[in-house]
């Protein structure tokens, strides 16, 4: 018979012991150690177990917790530990046989009940340890979202950000200490949020309104949302490139020759489980890619300063690769020799030399070779005519 788990992840509400079901109370009664943030520890004043405050940053608490292996230990978390909580971190770092979870009522459920909002139609964000820019791709009139924030001061920061992005008419529903004796809920304007005082823990429901720009959901976002020095895969080509890359849930992209970062940023926008690394040899462009990613809510993009293939050697293997710059025989040979079978490769070329190289590899390796020729209406004297862009040759193949 396997041993019983030594670690319990326990969801605690703002009502402390009063709101705990019998199984959670029993876990606390038999605990040798209780570990959690100071606020959570203060909600269980009568526990006789050893108390350990979880340090900040959060990752520093994992070695401490590992050292408690073999002692009956309870880790305190807010509400549902698996909804923007500590539960997923525990699950990644400890064997399934070592722990059990006893979730409480989530803050999102309490907030939705307070507001009368259907959770299936409401976006939820855990921004207590993430930037407010995570909101940017989603902001559009009519959106309803519930946010967990770092502390009371973050309410004013949220109001400032919404005003700066053009959504100054938003209504904010600020809820403090939901489910506990200090519970308070207020609906405020952005101005009132800037002037008000709010107490931690806090969550905010947003009714989005205003004249701010809403981003389209389809691939091929407008070029002007990106800061660029002109080195950018333009919108129609970008849409075709994302279609060829065909992102799937949980996949990782290498974007070689990042330029502005538009391909990898749009890749990440497709699904929150996607990851990407962009490789850029110029420091100024690498910094610009970082700014674009942060501003557009894709701060999880990894930017690697260097030249392929040398910069690729120690990176996590990709599921898809885009070559937007630096195309060469050496690079293609390295990718062919080092990437896993099944990796998707897409390369764009505009010069005759690069076109010839892609044509040669298409002949050897197969795949699809596409010539994309676009023209845009522009003034021609008193009338209009077609102004052609350089044709782009795109090769896509599964290795």
Digit-coded pLDDT (tens) for 13-37: 998 888 889 999 999 999 999 999 9
Read off the tokens for 109. 């459920």
The pLDDT assigned to 18 comes to: 86
Tokens of 349: 């070329």
**Cis peptide leading into 201, omega within 30 of 0?**
yes
pLDDT at 69 over 90: yes
> What pLDDT score was predicted for residue 226?
97
Would you state the structure tokens that stand for residue 200, as one six-digit string? 């931690």
At residue 1 the predicted structure's pLDDT band, cuts being 50, 70 and 90, is: very low
pLDDT at 178: 94
State yes or no: pLDDT of 336 exceeds 90.
yes
Evaluate if residue 289 carries a pLDDT over 50: yes
Q: Distance between CA 49 and CA 34 in Å, rounded?
A: 6
Beta-carbon contacts of 189 under 8 Å, excluding residues fewer than 6 positions away, are 171, 172
- The mean predicted confidence, pLDDT, of the chain is 95
Helix ranges (H only) for 18-106 are: 22-29, 38-42, 61-66, 87-93
The pLDDT value given to residue 16: 87
Q: Residues 163-171: what's their mean pLDDT?
A: 97
Question: Using CA atoms, how far apart are residues 35 and 226, in angstroms rounded to an integer?
Answer: 44
Counted residue by residue, the chain has a size of 399
Q: What are phi and psi of 84, to 5 degrees?
A: 55, 40
Alpha-carbon gap, residue 216 to 332, rounded angstroms: 34
SS3 of 166, please?
Answer: coil
Tokens at 152, concatenated = 């009371």
pLDDT at 310 over 70: yes
Mean pLDDT to the nearest integer, 359-381: 95
For 73-91, what is the mean pLDDT?
93
Average pLDDT, stretch 244-266? 97
The predicted pLDDT at position 184 comes to 96
Residue 244 near residue 394, CB atoms below 8 Å: yes
Q: Is pLDDT at 2 greater than 70 in this prediction?
A: no
Q: Residue 154 region, left (φ>0) first, then alpha (ψ -120 to 50), else beta?
A: alpha
pLDDT at 175 > cutoff 50? yes
**Domains along the chain with CATH numbers:** 7-105 (3.40.1010.10), 108-207 (3.30.950.10), 223-398 (3.40.50.150)
CA angle (228, 233, 234) in 5-degree steps: 90
Write down the pLDDT at residue 46. 81
144-149 and 202-207 beta bridge pairing: antiparallel
At 19 the pLDDT is 80
Residue 278 has pLDDT above 70, yes or no: yes
What average pLDDT does the segment 246-251 reach?
97
| Residue 162: both structure tokens together | 């919404």
**Closest to 258 (Cα-Cα) out of 212, 307, 222, 296:** 307
- Taking the C-alpha atoms of residue 189 and residue 168, their distance in angstroms, rounded to an integer, is 9
Share of the chain above pLDDT 90, in %: 93
Q: Is the dihedral of CA 376, 378, 380, 385 positive or negative?
A: positive
Q: What is the pLDDT of residues 186-243, one digit of tens each?
A: 999 999 999 999 999 999 999 999 999 999 999 999 999 999 998 899 999 999 999 9
Reply yes or no on whether the pLDDT at 176 is more than 80. yes
Give the Cα separation of 384 and 218 in Å (integer): 29
**Measured between alpha carbons, how far is 217 from 197 in angstroms, rounded to an integer?**
36
């Amino acid at each position: 018979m396997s041993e019983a788990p030594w670690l319990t992840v326990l969801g605690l509400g703002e009502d402390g012991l009063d709101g705990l079901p019998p199984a959670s109370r029993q876990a606390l009664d038999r605990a040798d150690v209780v570990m959690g943030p100071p606020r959570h520890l203060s909600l269980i004043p009568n526990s006789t177990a050893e108390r350990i405050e979880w340090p900040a940053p959060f990752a520093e608490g994992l070695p401490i917790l590992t050292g408690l292996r073999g002692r009956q230990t309870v880790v305190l978390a807010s509400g549902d530990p698996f909804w923007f909580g500590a539960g997923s971190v525990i699950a990644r770092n400890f064997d399934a046989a070592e722990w059990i979870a006893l979730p409480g009522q989530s803050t999102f459920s309490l907030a939705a009940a307070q507001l009368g909002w259907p959770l299936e139609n409401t976006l939820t964000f855990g921004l207590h340890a993430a930037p407010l820019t995570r909101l940017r791709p989603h902001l559009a009139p009519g959106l309803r979202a519930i946010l967990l924030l770092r502390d009371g001061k973050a309410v004013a920061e949220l109001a400032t950000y919404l005003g700066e992005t053009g959504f100054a008419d938003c209504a904010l529903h600020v809820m403090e200490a939901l489910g506990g004796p200090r519970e308070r809920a207020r609906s405020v304007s952005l101005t009132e949020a800037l002037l008000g005082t709010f107490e931690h823990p806090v969550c905010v429901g947003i009714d989005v309104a205003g004249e701010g720009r809403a981003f389209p959901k389809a691939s091929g976002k407008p070029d002007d949302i990106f800061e660029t020095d002109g080195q950018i895969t333009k919108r129609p080509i970008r849409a075709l490139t994302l279609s060829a890359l065909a992102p799937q849930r949980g996949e990782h992209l290498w974007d070689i020759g990042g330029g502005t970062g538009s391909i990898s940023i749009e890749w990440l926008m497709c699904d929150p489980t996607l990851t990407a690394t962009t490789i850029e040899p110029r420091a100024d462009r690498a910094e610009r890619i970082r700014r674009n990613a942060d501003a557009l809510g894709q701060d999880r993009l990894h930017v690697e300063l260097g030249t392929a293939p040398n910069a690729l050697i120690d990176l996590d293997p990709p599921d898809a690769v885009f070559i937007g710059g630096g195309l060469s025989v050496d690079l293609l040979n390295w990718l062919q020799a080092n990437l896993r079978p099944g990796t998707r490769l897409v390369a764009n070329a505009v010069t005759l030399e690069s076109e010839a190289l892609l044509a040669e590899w298409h002949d050897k390796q197969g795949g699809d070779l596409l010539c994309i020729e676009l023209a845009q209406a522009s003034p021609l004297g008193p009338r209009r005519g077609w102004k052609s862009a350089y044709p782009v040759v795109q090769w896509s193949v599964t290795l």
